[in-house]
Amino acid sequence: MPVSPSRTAAFDVLLQVDREDAYASELLHSSRYAKLSPADHGLATEIVMGVLRWRSTLDREIAQFSSQKLEKLDIEVLTALRMATYQMAYLHRVPQRAAVHESVELVKRARKRSAAPFVNAVLRKASNQTEWAQKLRGVVAELEGEPRTPEQPPTVGNLAAKYSHPAWLVERWMKHYGWKAARNICRYNQTVAATAIRRPAPADEAELEKAGVTLLNGELLKTAARVESGDLNHTVPYREGRIAIQDEASQLVALLVGKGGNILDCCAAPGGKTRIIADRNPGARILAAELHPHRARLLRKLVPARNVEVITADVRALPVSRRFDRVLADVPCSGTGTLASNPEIKWRLKPEDIVDLHSRQLAILQAAMQHVTPGGRLVYSTCSLEREENEDVVEKALAADASSRVISCRSELERLRAENELAWEDLDSFTSGPYLRTIPGIHPCDGFFAAILEKG
């Protein structure tokens, strides 16, 4: 009996994520899997994202039933075990025998036939002892309600184990944000993030409605919308690029750039922020720079506005002499604010990566600051929760360049509220000193940081 298309796709995606440092969401929405039926695509997505979210928890349970150390297993074997364990624990509608049988067949398909009896034995043991699965289901059920405040703050180890996160990340968040915020971040990361888009034009919204997509108002922004139901990815407006998925916090960062006549977007791909800047500044001259040629091509496709010039260039050696009154430096970062959508990041990121990123981010920001005209503004942003990538970068750049100063994001948030763009009422929760800060689980969005620098 052949393996179902959904599990075959899930297996292949998980292997590619592991071997190539690819991103699961990009793979699942690639042309390779476009022909899957909606049901198969849905199950493949559920398995892939579930395995990535709960990987350390799954490994801990698999280890109970395995006669071999997990680090000695081939990745194909371990992936098949994780898939079956996830389905047995979390997917009530999937028969256990189907999860077991198809994982064994996937191992054979991967030319690891000699490991098939081992996989079968491990999964049979797991299926015969159900207490572990019931415990895991309890954690998932708890995510659907408000967290109960414990009498004592949880330890780093307890929080990391319960919500399947690396302990070193949890420790950082507890130290920087406190244990309650760290718990909220971990909880949010284990849920399916809402699909957010920029509020579409009336004709596009009508087309979405006709295709069965129901939209809700944005929670942060009145200019955003959230998908309540329906398959956005197969609609004509989405396929033609008229609508793009973009977290509300990401949209908010783009709005902070404000109005200008000559605008630079330093690290522009994939282009969501560039598009918002162009929409809000139709008369401006906008330069969108992207280091990688293939990402620059994607940017040009997503942002067809005539007033946007796309170039393939490194902002640290930008081939232009003119200066700009508005600059966005949305720099490459660890992405720890996006783990709900990109759970693979938490398993591949290492503490030393943050040190390396800090140096790169500082170099980009210092280069970008040289392109701001006197009186102009630069927005520095990341989708990271880590201080080294955020406040520390800004403060070090300002210490080396006294010609710029930080201005409070609060004034820009108040401007957006006055312009009827902001839906979120609690502006204090958005700010940390002069900086913008969104925190997953405290805000219904990704974790973003932004600073506004003004050139003297």
Q: What is the pLDDT of residues 17-35, one digit of tens each?
A: 999 999 999 999 888 998 9
CA distance 237 to 297: 20
CA distance 179 to 171: 9
pLDDT at 70 over 80: yes
Which tens digit of pLDDT belongs to each residue from 200-230? Answer: 999 999 999 999 999 999 999 999 999 999 9
The predicted model gives 304-312 an average pLDDT of 94
Q: Which of 284, 288, 283 is nearest to 273 (CA)?
A: 288
pLDDT at 136 over 90: no
Q: How many CB atoms lie within 10 A of CB 393?
A: 29
Q: Which of 365, 379, 372, 434 is nearest to 403 (CA)?
A: 372
Numbered ranges of CATH 3.40.50.150 in the chain = 248-455
pLDDT of amino acid 135: 87
Q: How many CB atoms lie within 10 A of CB 443?
A: 22
The predicted model gives 102-121 an average pLDDT of 95
Instruction: Give the catalytic positions in this structure.
Output: 383
CA distance 328 to 175: 30
Numbered ranges of CATH 1.10.940.10 in the chain = 5-135
pLDDT at 245 over 80: yes
**Model pTM score:** 0.94
Beta bridge partners of 432: 435
pLDDT of amino acid 330: 98
CA distance 311 to 344: 30
Geometric angle at alpha carbon 337, from 333 and 341, rounded to 5°: 105
Secondary structure in 3-state letters for 236-268: HHHHCCCCCECCHHHHHHHHHCCCCCEEEECCC
What is the homologous superfamily of the domain 5-135 according to CATH?
NusB-like (1.10.940.10)
pLDDT of amino acid 1: 62
The predicted model gives 121-130 an average pLDDT of 92
Q: Was domain 248-455 assigned CATH 3.40.50.150?
A: yes
pLDDT of amino acid 214: 96
The helix/strand/coil state of 324 is strand
Average pLDDT, the chain: 95
CA distance 382 to 334: 9
Please answer whether residues 410 and 452 qualify as being in contact, where contact means their C-beta atoms are separated by less than 8 angstroms.
no
DSSP 110-141: TT-GGGHHHHHHHHHHHHH--HHHHHHHHHHH
- 270 upstream amide cis, omega within 30 of 0: yes
